[in-house]
Structure 1
Amino acid sequence: MDTLEPGMLLLADRGLYGFDMWTRAAATGADLLWRVKSTLSPRHLETLDDGSWLAQIIPTSGKNRQQRTPRTVRVIDYTLDDGRGNPEQYRLLTTILDPADAPAEELALAYAQRWEIENTFDELKTHQRGPRAVLRSKSPPLVEQEIWGHLCCHYAIRTLMRDAATAGSHDPDRISFIAALRITRRSLSHSSFSALLS
């Protein structure tokens, strides 16, 4: 929290929300955009033109919670349907109270982009390295070197994905990392094998 300052937008997932943490983060002057459980029921104040609404939040537990000063927030509710019959409801809270400063749709898109880092961690840890693989290096400098190797490999695969998507006029986010990783591994193993034969 010490590095937060005005002009920043702090995004957080629903497992991190708590009234006290929200209050501390908001006090830094940074803008907040946090997903909360859809069961959180802020007190409705006013519905805004973009479909979002102003509300007040209070602590949901703890001593003297009714005496605490409520915080005014803007609530953005929406549903995403993955097309497989699993629509998921989202509820976002933000300190950006005026839709003219950041419309609800823009904030929902910003929250969706937050998942890019989660996808990257999954690509690196689960698919590229393997789910049970541990780093082999035994000393801190070699561990750092091994991590950099994994990051460079990931970057190279992502660059190939971007180049392929651009050549085909597609969004790079629509290209499968797992498929690109398999193709890369096959092409590397064929290259090594053919080099041994010649």
Structure 2
Amino acid sequence: MRFIKKFAVSAVAAAALIGGALLSPASANAAVPYFDGPWGPYFSSDHKAEASGFVSVEKHKTKKWYWDKKKVLVKECYWKHGEKKCDWKYVWKKFKAWKWVDEYKFTVKGELINHAWDTHHKKYRCAWATFKIEPFSGPTYFKKFKNCGEDPKHFWFSGKNAEHISVKVSRGDHWGPKGFFGPWGTVYDHV
């Protein structure tokens, strides 16, 4: 009877240890909701193109690797007049290290509505939404979406570490925005 009790207690303890070991790495860099919210609606200057949607940002902890230098005491030996001599001196050694950094992953979802899809002016038959993404470090980049049809067009894009995301709604043809540019509207601002 005593053997069965010891076996049962050790099995429960082992299951708890395994469960804790399986959960701890996942919880170390699990995504934490940082920001969720709607954006828009934003319009072209003639109000015939409209964009609105939802943005969500998650905060992750990730390892960032970098090269570091450290002074290390080393023994340097040489032969002089048939005799081995050794000196101690400090030299710089390069080594790879890491640190935990916060990373912000964003997803922008939206809907682009074209109220002038049947216009006779071919230059302004499509609705355009141009997004400007400004990261914490690195160059600013743009994403463009168009809708040349009657039905609303749904789109999405994602990235990481954006400090500001803005949108400008305009009208144009199949190849790009041509006119009726609305003002830049805020989609997300990192605080």
State the structure with bigger RCO (CA 8 A, min sep 6), 1 or 2.
Answer: 2
Structure exhibiting the larger radius of gyration computed from Cα positions = 2
TM-score category of the 2 structures, normalised to the smaller one: under 0.3
Higher strand share: 2
Task: Provide the TM-score with structure 1 as the length reference.
Answer: 0.19
Q: Which has the higher helix share?
A: 1
